[in-house]
């Protein structure tokens, strides 16, 4: 049920996409404490303007039913920024991350919801 969605301005090949998705999925599972089999990670490329300037940048959205907190969010932020820097050379000051704790009844899966 955790979801990490990444939007970036950096063009990448299939190998870089696969590496980043695998890293993001593992980071979210480890830090939230949920099995990775329930994590979904998505990645898209497109225009991003940050601070009125173009260049390498990313936005990540992390959603989960529980498991998020100030300390967990800080660890996810640190590790996602590290992964984005390693795989796509995006500096951490060019990354925004949003965290959302979603009520179980508002998360659908397999023809129903978790709540």
Q: Model confidence over 38-64: pLDDT tens digits?
A: 999 999 999 999 999 999 999 999 999
Q: What ranges do the domains of the chain cover?
A: 3-113
CATH number of 3-113: 3.30.429.10
> Which tokens sit at 67?
């498991």
CB 114 within 8 A of CB 66: no
Query: What's the whole-model pTM score?
Result: 0.93
Place of tokens 């939230």: 32
User: Mind listing the pLDDT tens digit for each residue in 4-28?
Assistant: 999 999 999 999 999 999 999 999 9
Is pLDDT of 1 > 90?
no
Please list the active-site residues: 2
Minimal CA–CA distance to 1: which of 60, 66, 61?
Answer: 66
């Amino acid at each position: 049920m955790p979801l990490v969605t990444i939007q970036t301005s950096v063009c990448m090949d299939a190998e870089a996409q696969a590496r980043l998705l695998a890293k993001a999925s593992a980071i979210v599972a480890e830090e939230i404490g949920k099995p990775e089999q329930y994590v979904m990670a998505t990645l898209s490329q497109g225009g991003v303007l940050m601070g009125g300037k173009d260049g390498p940048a990313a936005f990540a959205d992390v959603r989960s039913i529980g498991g998020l907190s100030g300390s967990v969010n800080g660890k996810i932020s640190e590790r996602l920024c590290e992964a984005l820097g390693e795989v796509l050379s995006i500096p951490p000051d060019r990354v925004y991350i949003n965290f959302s704790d979603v009520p179980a009844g508002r998360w659908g899966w397999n023809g129903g919801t978790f709540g």
